[in-house]
Amino acid sequence: MPIVYDEIMQLKSAGETFRYTDRDVMLYALGVGFGRDPLNLRELKFVYENDLQVVPTFASTIGFGQMMMARSGINYLMVVYGEQRLAVHKPLPSEGEVVAQTRVVGAIDKGEGKGALVLLEKTIHDKMSGEKLCTTGATIFARGDGGFGGPSEGAPVPHTIPEREPDHSIEFETRPDQGLLYALSGDRNPLHRDPMVARMAGYRRPILHGLCTYGIACRAVLVSVCDYDPKKIADFDARFSAPVTPGDTIVTQIWVDGPVVSFRCKMKDRGLLVLDNGKCTLRT
């Protein structure tokens, strides 16, 4: 069933309740690489319940996979993640009960044979107080759904990376089993765990979740710019360029211009750009 523009633009979830615990927060942090050195006390606070801190990009896991998009008409065999965005209105508590509502905010037709972009927005509120905690956004690239007659403009404009040498360059090794670990935070797509499924999709082995790479980039910014203080991050946006193979080393290049932090990620050995147009806004 092809995309019907008027119908997809009406899609939204009713507002679902999700509960997460400190275990979920710590598991996510481990999944994006925190705690590799158990003697690093500054990282320990993200993976240990004593004064536990929440990695801001943990918000991307809340309500992951809400079934609203099953009614979109998209061919999910041809879908890849294009972009992820985050606005932090108030830092997430280390455990809580929240209400998440997702809606479609855009559907861009790139043309027959060129695919489509579907823009999603999720708002997350504290269930008890009703206070808005954060807003996440995602751009889904539906490679097989172009030519449905929707608008051709309106896609988010990518952030421009400075042309000078980076102010920081942070290397993090990924684990060969990192996809298996990260999947426990909600995204159980077999592409990231099952070698047979990965080969059917054209990969020699399972690839790492794009949102895991996104979290690793957030870790790099926290370490190098934020002095390990997650409350300093107000926004965190990035565009996915290529998949990472678990076991590869990710190099995050970072530029600091006042409250605007630009970043991108490359594979160390091949120089392949895997995350681009990154923009983090700091609270002053």
Q: Which pLDDT score, from 0 to 100, does residue 76 have?
A: 67
Annotated active-site residue in 74, 109, 192, 254: 192
**What average pLDDT is seen over the chain?**
93
Annotated active-site residue in 31, 137, 150, 210: 210
Q: Is 207 a catalytic residue?
A: yes
Annotated active-site residue in 24, 109, 187, 248: 187
Residue 156 within any structural domain of the chain: no
Q: Is 210 a catalytic residue?
A: yes
The rounded Cα 87 to chain-centroid distance in angstroms is 12
The string of pLDDT tens digits covering residues 127-178 is 999 999 999 999 988 888 888 888 999 889 999 999 999 999 999 999 999 9
Specify burial of residue 146 (Cβ count, 10 A radius: 0-12, 13-18, 19+): buried
Indicate if 61 and 125 belong to the same structural domain.
Answer: yes
Q: Which pLDDT score, from 0 to 100, does residue 63 have?
A: 86
Structural domain span for residue 26:
5-142
Q: Which pLDDT score, from 0 to 100, does residue 206 have?
A: 95
Domain CATH for 20: 3.10.129.10
Residue 85 within any structural domain of the chain: yes
Annotated active-site residue in 108, 207, 233, 254: 207
Q: Which pLDDT score, from 0 to 100, does residue 65 have?
A: 63
Indicate if 215 and 272 belong to the same structural domain.
Answer: yes
Residue 205 within any structural domain of the chain: yes
Q: What is the pTM of this model?
A: 0.94
| pLDDT (average), residues 112-124 | 93
CA distances (Å), 212 to each of 52, 84, 86, 106, 275, in order?
Answer: 20, 11, 14, 25, 11
Q: Is 6 a catalytic residue?
A: no
The string of pLDDT tens digits covering residues 201-230 is 888 999 999 999 999 999 999 999 999 999
Q: Which pLDDT score, from 0 to 100, does residue 237 have?
A: 98
Task: Could you list the beta-strand ranges (E) of 89-232.
Answer: 96-109, 116-126, 132-142, 168-173
> Which of residues 165 and 284 earns the better pLDDT score?
165
Q: Among 108, 142, 176, identify where a domain stops.
A: 142
Structure tokens belonging to residue 135:
């807003």
